[in-house]
Amino acid sequence: MKLFGYFRSSTSYRLRIALNLKGLEYENIPVDLRTSEQKGEAFTARNPFGSVPMLEADGRDRAQSMALLEWLEEAYPDPPLLPAGSEDRYTVRELAHAIATEIHAINNLPVLRYLADPLGHAQDDIAIWYRHWLSRTLGPVEQRLAQLHTGDFLFDRPGLFEVVLLPQIYNARKFDYDLSDKPHTTRIEAACLALPEFERAFPDNQTDSPDYIQPAGE
């Protein structure tokens, strides 16, 4: 497998976590979003969406992170990203899709760039926009977690919800979003970040990150 992505892309981050949780080996191939490499002819010839992540697997180039996560779960069911029962699966999907559709879709890089140019909004205004949409969905997510009385993870181990949550919390911290009133969310975040699968997927630990430090002996 080859994962084409960008260290700070939240959707690429999702796929790195999921692949690590599945125990699947993959080659990480950086695509520079700062120079719009993903919009170049060579890339769009393979992925017409002109977006990351793109996963080259089983002779096919696959795009769109949520569809990719579903494919991984079907093609490589063990260990699972979804719990066994239909009600628990619904709970996971309810929370994961709320974050993916109500936060990420409206706060992703193309939207933020469009707000700046051509619409002409200042960076401070864009940050207000970003935090508004975080609050609109992270608040209800926290309330749902409180209703469920979760432990370190939504269920007994990290899965689809944590895969989608962690990149968004990383972004929230970048925009100085106050998480002090979200103890369930931050507890799950801390438990995930303590695991090697999440540590390896962390943006700063990717070779295309300016903060990357090559491990000793490599």
Largest CA distance in the chain: 49
Question: What's the CA gap between 1 and 42, in Å, rounded?
Answer: 19
What mean pLDDT comes out for the span 188-213?
95
- CATH of residue 40's domain is 3.40.30.10
pLDDT band at 111 (very low <50, low <70, confident <90, very high): very high
Instruction: Say whether both 94 and 195 belong to one domain.
Output: yes
What mean pLDDT comes out for the span 194-217?
89
Instruction: Say whether both 14 and 97 belong to one domain.
Output: no
What pLDDT does residue 200 have? 97
- CATH of residue 140's domain is 1.20.1050.10
Residue 54 has φ and ψ, to the nearest 5°, of: -125, 130
Instruction: Say whether both 69 and 142 belong to one domain.
Output: no
Instruction: Say whether both 19 and 118 belong to one domain.
Output: no
pLDDT band at 218 (very low <50, low <70, confident <90, very high): low
| Domain with 113 in it | 86-199
Yes or no: say if 34 and 28 are a contact pair by the CB < 8 Å rule: no
Residue 98: is its pLDDT beyond 60? yes
Instruction: Say whether both 51 and 152 belong to one domain.
Output: no
Instruction: Say whether both 14 and 58 belong to one domain.
Output: yes
Q: Is 205 inside a domain boundary? A: no
Please give the mean pLDDT across all residues of the chain: 95
Instruction: Say whether both 71 and 153 belong to one domain.
Output: no
Q: Is 206 inside a domain boundary? A: no
Instruction: Say whether both 24 and 115 belong to one domain.
Output: no
What is the number of domains present in the chain?
2
How does pLDDT run across 40-77, given as a tens digit for each residue?
999 999 999 999 999 999 999 999 999 999 999 999 99
